[in-house]
Structure 1
Amino acid sequence: MEIILYGGSFDPIHIGHAFVANEVFQQFKPDKFIFIPAGQSPHKNTKPNVSDEHRLHMIQQTIDYLQFGEIDTFEIEQAGKSYTYHTVLYLKKKYKNCKLKILIGYDQYEVIDKWYNLEAITSLASFIVVNRSRDELTLREPFIPFTLPRMDVSATDIRMRIHNGQSVKCLLLADVEQYIREEHLYEEKKSD
Structure 2
Amino acid sequence: MKIGIFGGTFNPIHNGHLLVAREIYQAGELDQIWFMPACLPPHKNLAAQVSFADRLAMVRAAIEPCPEFVACDLEGRRGGRSFSVKTLQELRQLYPADEFTFIMGLDSFAEIGLWRSYEQLFDLCHILVAARPGFAGDLQELLPVAMADRFCYDADALKLCGKSGFSVQLVRQTAADISSTEIRNRIAAGQLVDEWICPAVATYIHQHKLYRHSPAG
TM-score (norm 2): 0.81
Provide the C-alpha distance between the structure 2 equivalents of 1:145 and 1:5, rounded to a whole number of angstroms: 15
**Following superposition, which runs of at least 4 residues in structure 1 exceed 6 angstroms of deviation?**
none
Q: How does 1:76-87 map to 2 (within 5 A)?
A: 76-87=76-87
Mapped partners of 2:185, 2:179: distance in 1: 10
Return the alpha-carbon distance in structure 2 between the equivalents of residues 33 and 91 of structure 1. 14
One of 174, 177, 189 as aligned partner of 2:214: 189
1:66-121 deviations in whole A, cap 9, x for unaligned? 33221221111223211001100111111114221001111211211111111111
Identity between Structure 1 and Structure 2 (%): 31
Letter in 1 for 2:66: L
CA separation in 2, counterparts of 1:67 and 1:2?
Answer: 15
Tell me the equivalent position of 1:31: 31
Q: Cα distance, 1:186 vs. partner?
A: 0.4
Q: Which protein has the larger Cα radius of gyration, Structure 1 or Structure 2?
A: 2
After TM superposition, list the pairs within 5 Å mapping 1:49-60 onto structure 2: 49-60=49-60
Are 2:5 and 2:102, in contact at CA under 8 Å, matched by a contact in 1? yes
* Counterpart position of 1:172: 197
Root-mean-square deviation (CA, aligned residues, Å) is: 1.8
2:177 aligns with: 152
Superposition deviation, residue 13 in structure 1: 0.3
The DSSP-based 3-state class of the residue aligned with 1:45 is: coil
The residue matched to 1:124 in structure 2 has which SS? coil
2:91 aligned with 1:91, yes or no? yes
Task: Answer whether contact 1:39 1:47 (CA < 8 A) is retained.
Answer: no
Q: Is the 8 A contact 2:10 2:55 kept in 1?
A: yes
SS at match of 1:28: coil
Matched positions, count: 189
Q: Give the gaps of 5 or more residues in structure 1.
A: none
Tell me, yes or no, if the aligned pair for 1:37 and 1:73 is still in contact at 8 Å. yes
1:47 Cα deviation (Å)?
Answer: 6.1
Any gaps of 5 or more consecutive residues in structure 2?
Answer: 141-159, 161-166
TM-score (norm: length of structure 1): 0.91
